[in-house]
Structure 1
Amino acid sequence: MDGMSLEESLSDVDSSLFRLFRQKTSDLQYPKLEKDQYVARWLKARSWDVEKAEKMFRMHLQWRNEVKLDELLATFKMPEVVEKYFPGGVCGQDKFGRPTFICPAGTADVFGLMRSASRTQLALSRYYLMEKIVEEILPAQSQKMGRPIDQLVIIFDLQHMNRRQLWRPWLNFVLEMTSIFEVNFPELMAVCFVLNAPSFFSMIFSLLKPILSKETQDKIHILGSNYFDELLKLFNPEDLPAHYGGTMCDPDGDPKCSSRICWGGIVPESYYQIQQSSPASSMEVADDAFLLVPVGRGSKEYFYVGEAKSGDTVSWEFYTESNDIAFSLWVEPQSDSGSLVDEGSRRRLGKARGPNSVGSSGMTTSFSFNNLLGSQGLGGKLDLRQITRSLRVDCDLVPELGNRQVDLDGNYYLLFDNSYSWTRAKRIWCKAEVVCSNPLIKDGNSNNNSVVDGEMEGRDLKAVDVELSEVMKTVCAPDYSSLSTLDVDISALVIILLRTVPIIRRRFRSSQSSSSSPQGVKFKRPIKTTV
């Protein structure tokens, strides 16, 4: 704990290592590689092995692009429940000017947090925090101190921690975040102090140790009951909250400095995301947009999302009836000879269905029709490319929601991977859609526009959904649980379907005179695809 920054500790390092690293990564053209202290993070994290450091850095850039980290500070809106009840905050500095992040982890309501926010929201909130530290807090501290500050001190206070916080979904989340931080924010932590460790902390640390490098493990110090004295060896009293032995207080005299540190607490149930009742326990699915994806023990299933063009947004929402599932996004790139659905037909189809919000739970039943179109071209082996890395999520309490703007034309799929579980099959309820990047674009065929738009005036949109579903049931036999192919021009199909509305209406009128009324089709399962 000499207090030297990474930049100040480089005087004894062979400069040829930096030149070699830059040569090997020159194709990336990443501006930050011009700074020695930035390169030093990756080299030091891999014991100055250039080959390993290069591999680590390339994997980081891939992950950074996947989560769109460069845009996070400008685009991410912190969920209110996370802002108010996820413990932690930057408060004070050590004697060397390094900022201090204090996390009273023992006060976290792990059940409340995971019932009030999806795993993706929780993860993005942590990425946001780390990026804010790197891009804003450390540069500001460097300017304040007049010397480079590129690391921070971390204090974990485990007071009030109990075995409830060993809940599997939460523990999995903590382990995953630790693993991600270790490989994507190397050498950011100067030293870590653990206070008020409970008797079972040794078990927790044994789970963390395989994830952490030896260098990181050596920076962790578990302090005893006299931690006041130990902390004051590294901190000036005025820079340490009074709650931890210093003299720093909030303007109102609060010794915990609650204006800068979130102290967690019980999450009010008003924040809970109420999930609909399990489809398995009811006769009908509450929202027809959800389709059932059964995934067997040790197996995988692809779920067709839709056909997208570069700039479109793929969005999804799913949950399991029990346990967790791994998922990732894949694409079958569009060949040069292939054709995508034209913007005009997508605009007209969206107009017939009504507005759908990305990732919202208010999508209409027409998604079943949208998913049915996914059978186009699924008769043979697919050439799929992975877009996002596989992510294992606990979504039996709170649905997993997400979206991604794509840059490849093609057919997009979600892969639900249960290959890690040889004892449990999973049942996933999923809905997904492709949102056009420019839904107002004009179609060249104005005649088609006027015909369709004229026919849709005054139509009941819910009735249209039911009618379309009924027609597709007739057109697309056999049953959707089997492999089938729908090889038609989608744009023409939509126009034909809308022109048959009067016929469909007569059919419904005649059937209403019978003893039972027809119901809208509910597609319980997506089309299976073998890749």
Structure 2
Amino acid sequence: MDVDLTKKESSKLLEFKSRVADIKKPELWDEDTDLFLRRWLIARNWNIDKAEVMLRKSMEYRKKINCDTLLTDYKPPEVLEKYFVGGICGYDKEGSPVWIDVFPLLDVKDVSGNCGVHNKCVNVLSLVMCLGIECFKEIVAAFEDNYPEVLRRVYIINAPRIFVLAYNMVKNVLTARTTGKIHMLGSNWKESLLDVMDADQLPVYYGGTQVDENGDPKCPNKILYGGEVPKTYYFTHDDISADMQTVHVSRGSTKYIQLPITVSKCQIRYTIRSEKHDIGYGFLYNDLDSPSKRHSEMQVILSSTRTNTHMVQLTGVLECNQPGIYILLLDNSFSWIKGKTVRYSLEVVAPKTEDEAYTDALDVIGDDCVNLTANETEDLSGHEEAH
């Protein structure tokens, strides 16, 4: 990315820097160059207001997926480590990492269905993709919304004809700047790749000169090729923990499950699984001194998100930075026809400390964690059930 700025751009960068100073993250923001901030401005054509909205939404996204603690707290499921595909094979001529994804060899449904939550590789600058359309759409959308000007270019090779039709529909929801980085290559794709990458940075199979220690032209030591996921990894209803509570969420309504927390800096680990149909979920916060406050007046920690928890069991962690009443909401307000049966579990986890006072406090709220059904409430939110 060009680091030279005009006087007008420099002025806008300074104003933008001042506006977002409250969310400064040292691990992302190099104050010597401010390249991190420039990316958001460039992505919104140097419109400061739009760039600020984009950046703040992305910070919420990072919080939602626990991005800041991903490297230390997240352990990929075994099925993901064994059967996900792709890898970095080298660098292009501009120094950007080249990641190769081989989506046709990825058993997408079975891998995602056994991982609990979807996680994205988000720190590569060049992609070579032989892809399935849904994976492509999700990855590009994540880059566009949360990692502006990080994706340098995408090369699509060996795409079936039907993909071209599907891509023409998908690209309508992408920005012109993003679609300009996507190159769909024809039969001479190997030569095209070598225009931007040296041969020693690509496996022989993709037109380069790389082989692994066994002489394999696909370099499986660098690039994982996945395969069919064994049935033993499949999630079944028999895998649902006996500790999970079961609730019914009526059509057009929302179930609220309250969990009082009397100490700070702990975590709520949650698991959600629905039967047959999707459900929305989110979290609210209320202080302990105002237990009668209406749900609409409470602080939204995690906005309601509609998820296919009937297909993929959802797991996550919510950081509780202060005491209060934390409310899990199971949202079925979008469905006027079907009620939903949902299983869930909530576990309070102590911070990493040996403070005995904390342990005593955690014991106090232990009963609330076990017998959560006593704190369940249902709110029709003004909706009348359809007949």
1:326 corresponds to which residue? 280
Confirm or deny that 1:303 pairs with 2:276: no
**Identical aligned residues as a percent:** 30
Cα separation, partners in 2 of 1:269 and 1:227, compared to 1, 3 Å: same
For 1:318 and 1:305, the matched residues in 2 are separated by 15
Q: Quick one: distance in 2 between partners of 1:443 and 1:261? A: 46
User: Superposition RMSD on alpha carbons, in Å?
Assistant: 3.2
Amino acid at match of 1:102: I
1:33 and 1:39 in contact (8 A); partners too: no
Q: Aligned residue for 1:155?
A: 128
For residue 441 of structure 1, what is the aligned residue in structure 2? 356
Please give the TM-score of this superposition, normalised by the length of structure 2.
Answer: 0.84
3-state SS of paired residue (1:322):
coil
Alignment correspondent of 1:392: 306
Say whether the 8 Å CA contact 2:248–2:339 is kept in structure 1. Answer: no
Query: In 2, distance between residues paired with 1:203 and 1:421?
Result: 32
Cα displacement (A) at 1:204? 3.3
Say whether the 8 Å CA contact 2:254–2:378 is kept in structure 1: no
Q: Deviations over 1:111-163 (max 9, x none)?
A: 22133211x2x32xx2xx325x5xxxxxxxxxxxxxxxxxx2211113xx5xx
Q: Quick check: 1:275–1:398 contact (8 Å CA) kept in 2? A: no
Aligned mates of 1:81, 1:260 — CA distance in 2: 18
**Which SS does the other structure have where 2:237 is aligned?**
coil
1:227 counterpart residue number: 189
Structure 1 residues 416 and 443, CA, compared in 2 at 3 Å: closer, same or farther?
closer
Which runs of no fewer than 5 residues in structure 1 stay unpaired? 134-151, 279-285, 339-376, 450-489, 495-520
Gap change, CA 1:292 and 1:30, over 3 Å in 2 = closer
Match of 2:176 among 203, 210, 214: 214
Q: Provide the C-alpha distance between the structure 1 equivalents of 2:97 and 2:7, rounded to a whole number of angstroms.
A: 26
> What is the aligned counterpart of 1:381 among 280, 290, 294?
294
The 8 Å contact of residues 274 and 342 in structure 2, kept in 1 or not, is answered as: yes
The equivalent residue for 1:26 is: 21
| SS of equivalent to 2:164 | helix
Alignment match, 2:160: 198
What secondary structure does 2:213 align onto? coil
Is contact 1:293-1:526 (8 Å) kept? no
1:402 to 316, 341, 351: 316
Q: Compare the two structures and name the one with the higher helix fraction.
A: 1
Partners of 2:85 and 2:303 lie apart in 1 by 28
Q: 2:61 aligned with 1:88, yes or no? A: no
Which AA in structure 1 matches 2:230?
P
Q: Structure 1 residues 182 and 26, CA, compared in 2 at 3 Å: closer, same or farther?
A: same
For the pair shown, the structure with the greater C-alpha radius of gyration is 1
Alignment partner of 1:209: what SS?
helix
Contact persistence 1:288–1:522 (CA under 8 A): no
Q: Would you say the 8 A contact 2:9–2:46 is kept in 1? A: no
Partner of 1:528: 378
1:316 aligns with 2:270: yes
CA pair 206-157 structure 1, distance change in 2 beyond 3 A:
same
Which AA in structure 1 matches 2:37?
V
Alpha-carbon offset, residue 180 of structure 1: 2.9
Partner of 1:183: 145
For the Cα contact (< 8 Å) 1:381–1:530, is it kept in 2?
no
| Aligned ranges 1:56-455 → 2 under 5 Å | 56-118=54-116, 120=117, 122-123=118-119, 126=120, 129-131=121-123, 133=124, 152-158=125-131, 171=134, 175-276=137-238, 287=242, 289-296=244-251, 298-335=252-289, 381-382=294-295, 383-437=297-351, 441-442=356-357
Structure 1 stretch displaced more, 23-32 or 314-323: 23-32
Tell me what 1:370 maps to. Answer: none
Q: Which amino acid aligns with 2:44?
A: R
| Structure 2 runs not aligned, ≥5 long | 382-387
What is the rounded CA distance, in whole Å, between the counterparts of 1:12 and 1:217 in structure 2? Answer: 29
Deviations 1:29-62 (A, max 9, x none): 4441622322221111111212211221222223
Match of 1:441, as an amino acid?
Answer: E
8 Å Cα contact 1:323-1:396 kept in structure 2:
yes
Distance 1:525 1:294, change over 3 A: farther
Once residues 105 and 358 of structure 2 are traced to their aligned partners in structure 1, the CA distance between those partners, rounded to angstroms, is 57
312-321 vs 301-310, which deviates more?
301-310
Tell me the TM-score normalised to structure 1 length.
0.63
Shift of 1:193: 0.6
Q: Deviations over 1:162-200 (max 9, x none)?
A: xxxx7xxxx4x7645543321111111111111111222
